[in-house]
A and B are shown apart, each in its own frame.
Chain A
Amino acid sequence: MVFYDITASSEDREIFLDTVERVAEQVRIPFTIGGGIRTPDDFRKVLLAGADKVSVNTAAVLNPKLISEAAEIYGSQCVVLSIDAKNQGDHWEVFIHGGRTPTGIDVVEWAKQGEALGAGEICLNAIDADGVKTGYALGITKAVSQAVRLPIIASGGAGEMIHFADVLEAGADAALAASVFHYEQIPIPTLKDYLRSRGLIIR
Chain B
Amino acid sequence: MIAIIDYGVGNLKNVRHVFSILEIPAQITRDPKVIRAADAIVLPGVGAFRDAVQNLEKYDLIDLLKEQAQSGKPFLGICLGMQLLFDKSYEGGEWTGLGLIEGEIVRFKDVPKIPHMGWNTLIPNTESPIAAKIEPESYVYFVHSYHAVAKNPEDVVFATEYGTQFPAVVQRGNILGMQFHPEKSAEVGLQLLKNFKEMIG
A and B physically associate = yes
On chain A, the number of residues with a Cβ less than 8 Å from chain B's Cβ atoms is 19
Closest Cβ of chain B to A102, distance in Å, is 31
Q: Contacts A24-B17, A77-B115 given; indicate if A47 touches B185 (C-beta within 8 A).
A: no
| B117 touching A48, Cβ below 8 Å | no
B117 touches A77 (CB 8 A): yes
| Interface bin, chain B | 20 to 34
Does A191 make an interface contact (CB < 8 A)? Answer: no
Partner of A24, one of B14, B139, B181, B190: B14
- Given A50-B13, A75-B46, A151-B113, verify A28-B143 contact (CB < 8 Å): no
Is the CB–CB distance between A52 and B118 below 8 Å?
A: no
Flag if B113 contacts A28 (CB, 8 Å). Answer: no
With A48-B11, A50-B11 in contact, is A30–B141 under 8 Å at CB? yes
Is the Cβ of B117 less than 8 Å from the Cβ of A120?
yes
> Which residues from B are CB-within-8-Å of A50?
11, 13-14, 17
Chain A 90-131 per-residue mask, 1 if CB under 8 angstroms from chain B, else 0: 000000000000000000000000000000110000000000
Task: Determine how close the nearest CB of chain A comes to the CB of B96; give it in whole angstroms.
Answer: 23
A139-153 toward B: CB 8 Å interface, digit per residue (1/0)? 000000000011100
B59 within 8 Å of A by Cβ?
Answer: no
- Tell me the bound Cα distance from A24 to B184 in angstroms: 10
- A36-50 interface with B by 8 A CB criterion: 47-48, 50
A203 within 8 A of B: yes
Cα distance, A75 to B14, chains bound together (Å):
18
Chain A residue contacts of B167, Cβ below 8 A: none
A203 and B119 contacting across the interface, CB-CB below 8 Å: yes
Residue of A nearest to B138 (CB): A203
Shortest Cβ gap from B28 to chain A (Å): 13
Which residues of chain A have C-beta atoms less than 8 A from B139's C-beta? 203
Chain A, residue nearest B120 (CB) = A203
Shortest beta-carbon distance, A174 to chain B, in Å? 8
Total A-B Cβ pairs within 8 A: 47
Asked if B163 lies at the interface with its beta carbon under 8 angstroms from chain A, I say no
Chain B residues within 8 Å of A120, by CB: 115, 117
Q: Are B118 and A151 within 8 A (Cβ)?
A: yes
Which residues of chain B (107-136) have a CB below 8 Å from chain A?
Answer: 112-113, 115, 117-119
Instruction: Tell me the complex Cα distance, A59–B59, Å.
Output: 37
User: Are A28 and B184 also in contact (CB < 8 A) when A75-B47, A203-B139 are?
Assistant: yes
- Nearest Cβ on chain A to B132's Cβ, whole angstroms: 19
Contact call B190/A28, Cβ cutoff below 8 A: yes
The CA-CA distance from A75 to B11 in the complex, in Å, is 14
B189 near A28: Cβ-Cβ < 8 Å: yes
Q: Is B106 an interface residue (CB 8 A)?
A: no
Task: Please report which residues of chain B, range 151-196, place their CB below 8 angstroms from some CB of chain A when the two chains form the complex.
Answer: 181, 183-186, 189-190
By a beta-carbon cutoff of 8 Å, the part of chain B in contact with chain A is 11, 13-14, 17-18, 21, 46-47, 112-113, 115, 117-119, 139, 141, 143, 181, 183-186, 189-190
Other contacts beyond A24-B14, A150-B113, A203-B139: 12, CB < 8 A: A28-B190, A29-B141, A29-B184, A29-B186, A30-B141, A30-B184, A48-B11, A48-B13, A52-B143, A75-B46, A76-B115, A77-B115
A–B pairs, 20, beta carbons within 8 Å: A24-B17, A28-B18, A28-B186, A28-B189, A28-B190, A29-B141, A50-B11, A50-B13, A50-B14, A50-B17, A52-B184, A75-B46, A77-B115, A77-B143, A120-B115, A120-B117, A149-B112, A149-B113, A150-B113, A203-B119
